[in-house]
Every structure is written in structure tokens, then in C-alpha cells.
Amino acid sequence: MPRALVFINTSTDAAEVVKNLERVKGVSEAHYSRGMYDAVAMVQGESFNEVKEIVSKSIRRMDNVRSTLTLTLIENPL
């Protein structure tokens, strides 16, 4: 199953964003983080296109989400 880690910068406290992430279909985990990003989410879907849609249409459009960085996870090719 295709997965991605989404690193999120918020415009305010990340608490509201993490609560909203937990309600998004396809988000299997959502956490606060310290450092360059305020929150991180694990997103999974039936295809990489579905993962992209979840990020672009659900996560990036959330209130208080300022920016995201998405890393797609590749299963071990060996």
C-alpha cells in the first residue's frame, strides 16, 4: 500500500491541525513534532495518486496549514 510522510508547518499552534489530521480518511497517524516542522502525518492510499489527492485536497487546504513537505515511502526493492 503506497504511503507518505507529510511534514507540516502551521501558522498557529499545531494542536488544531493534528486534531483535524486525525479525522482525514487516509491519515493513519498524526503527531506534533519539534524542529523545522510543527506536525507530521502518515498518509496511505490504494495508489500514489490517491495519496497525492489526500495531501493536496485535504491536508494542504486545512485551516492553519502554512506549508507541507511530502516524502513518498518506497518499499525495499531488494
Task: Indicate the length of the chain as a whole number.
Answer: 78
DSSP reduced 3-state for 17: helix
Q: What is the CATH number of domain 3-73?
A: 3.30.70.920
pLDDT tops 80 at residue 76: no
pLDDT tops 90 at residue 57: yes
Burial class of residue 55 in the structure, from the number of CB atoms within 10 Å of its CB (0-12 exposed, 13-18 middle, 19+ buried): buried
Residue 12, pLDDT score: 87
15-41: pLDDT as tens digits: 999 999 999 999 999 999 999 999 999
Mean pLDDT across 50-67? 97
Closest-CA residue to 24 (of 47, 45, 2): 45
CA distance 78 to 69: 27
Mean pLDDT across 45-54? 96
pLDDT tops 80 at residue 78: no
